[in-house]
Amino acid sequence: MEKYFFLIIKFIKILAFFGKNFFLIIKFIKILAFFGKKFFLIIKFIKILTFFGKIFFFNYKIH
């Protein structure tokens, strides 16, 4: 449990270091939450792309 606690502190320090970027990330998450269903469609699309990407990479390795 302590290891996770220290990792969380490290993560918070990194976030604090990036400051403005952190607020941009929150804004971005809020925008994504606003689009809701579209966000899930994007995830589905990314999953499909990674799935085909793996197949493509596998075929590429064979040849």
In Å, how far from its chain's centre is CA 29?
Answer: 10
- Tell me the CA distances in angstroms from 10 to 18, 60, 62, 63, one per residue in order: 13, 40, 42, 44
Task: Please give the Cα distance from 2 to 36 (Å, whole number).
Answer: 35
What's the whole-model pTM score? 0.32
Report, as an integer, the average pLDDT of 10-22.
Answer: 77
29-63 residue pLDDT tens: 787 777 777 777 888 888 988 888 887 777 777 66
pLDDT at position 52, please? 86
According to DSSP, residue 36 is labeled T
pLDDT at position 58, please? 75
Tell me if 31 sits within 8 A of 37, measured CB to CB: no
Which residues, other chains included, contact 39 with Cβ-Cβ below 8 Å and sequence gap of 6+?
32, 33
Band the pLDDT of 1: cuts 50, 70, 90. Answer: low
